[in-house]
């Protein structure tokens, strides 16, 4: 399905009925990375309307002239949510850059968000300001995401011990998106990645249930920066998974699903 918002064309899929769940993928990926880790969980849980979208300029979505920076990206996502679910409240699940946009939603419309799960959350947009694991904590020196040149480097951000299942999911959920990066992606990442405002300066703490899932060996966004914003989320559970990198949903698939299911169990008891 597609929807046009002021020249930006958003490609999306919906699965199931019930409580809306907005799924926000990482940069420069697409909805496949969210479907790959979320459908095995939600297909066993009736009562959720999963909304997977490609953010403008990624996957099958087109930015048009409307989206030039992360402020615009957030605005279009807010408009998309309004058009798809009107004033309904929703559950938010983000991954990496999707958590950056997701926290923008928390800042702008916290009263509409029932709860949130942040997976490998991007906290600080600028690479040089992130608190990342030191090289001696990793099996090999970290490589900035925008400098990854081949599959072996990309796979090193997933796991140091690559197995067939990891490669299968990588090829389906990640590789195609990385191979089809457009001029828009390159320019956006270089010049327009940061919000013009402090996304983590909230008028008051978010009172809904929140799950932070971070990787101890995440060389792209780390885990320490996420801990620094924990006071914004007094009902948050915070997990650091050892042996997990930036694709912890692949590195620690079973534990990832257990933690998400526990979060949803608690959410359903509210």
Find out whether 218 and 247 touch, Cβ atoms under 8 Å: no
DSSP lists the bridge partners of residue 23 as 52, 93
The pLDDT value given to residue 139? 56
The pLDDT value given to residue 141? 44
Helices (H), strands (E): how many in the chain? 10, 8
Could you read off the pLDDT tens digit of each residue along the chain, which spans 270 residues? 999 998 999 999 999 999 999 999 999 999 999 999 999 999 999 999 999 999 999 999 999 998 999 999 999 999 999 999 999 999 999 999 999 999 999 999 999 999 999 999 999 999 999 999 987 666 544 443 334 445 555 555 554 544 567 778 888 888 888 877 788 998 999 888 999 999 999 999 999 999 999 999 999 999 999 999 999 999 999 999 999 999 999 889 999 999 999 999 987 766
Structure tokens at 110: 């916290």
Domains, in order of start, for the chain: 2-268 (3.40.50.1820)
The pLDDT value given to residue 167? 77
Gap between the Cα atoms of 240 and 237, Å rounded: 10
The pLDDT value given to residue 147? 40
Residue 16 φ/ψ region, left for φ over 0, alpha for ψ in the -120 to 50 degree band, beta for the rest: left
Using the structure block, give the residue that is written with the tokens 């929807």: 3
């Amino acid at each position: 399905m597609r929807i046009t918002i002021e020249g930006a064309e958003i490609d999306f899929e919906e699965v199931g009925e019930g409580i809306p769940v907005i799924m926000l993928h990482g940069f420069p990926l697409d909805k496949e990375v969210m479907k790959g880790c979320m459908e095995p969980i939600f297909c066993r849980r009736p009562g959720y309307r999963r909304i997977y979208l490609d953010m403008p300029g990624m996957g099958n979505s087109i930015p048009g002239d409307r989206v030039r920076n992360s402020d615009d990206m957030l605005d279009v996502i807010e408009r998309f949510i309004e058009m798809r679910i009107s004033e309904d409240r929703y559950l938010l699940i983000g991954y990496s850059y999707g958590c950056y946009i997701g926290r923008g939603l928390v800042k702008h419309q916290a009263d509409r968000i029932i709860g949130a799960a942040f997976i490998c959350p991007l906290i600080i947009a600028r690479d040089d300001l992130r608190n990342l694991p030191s090289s001696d904590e990793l099996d090999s020196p970290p490589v900035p995401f925008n400098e990854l040149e081949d599959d072996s480097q990309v796979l090193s951000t997933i796991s140091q011990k690559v197995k067939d299942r990891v490669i299968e999911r990588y090829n389906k959920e990640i590789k195609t998106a990385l191979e089809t990066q457009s001029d828009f992606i390159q320019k956006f990442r270089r010049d327009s990645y940061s919000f013009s405002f402090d996304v983590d300066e909230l008028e008051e703490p978010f009172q809904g249930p929140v799950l932070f899932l971070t990787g101890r060996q995440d060389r792209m966004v780390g885990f320490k920066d996420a801990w620094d914003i924990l006071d914004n989320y007094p009902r948050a559970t915070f997990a650091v998974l050892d042996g997990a990198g930036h694709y912890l949903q692949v590195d620690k698939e079973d534990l990832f699903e257990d933690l998400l299911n526990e979060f949803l169990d608690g959410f359903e008891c509210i």
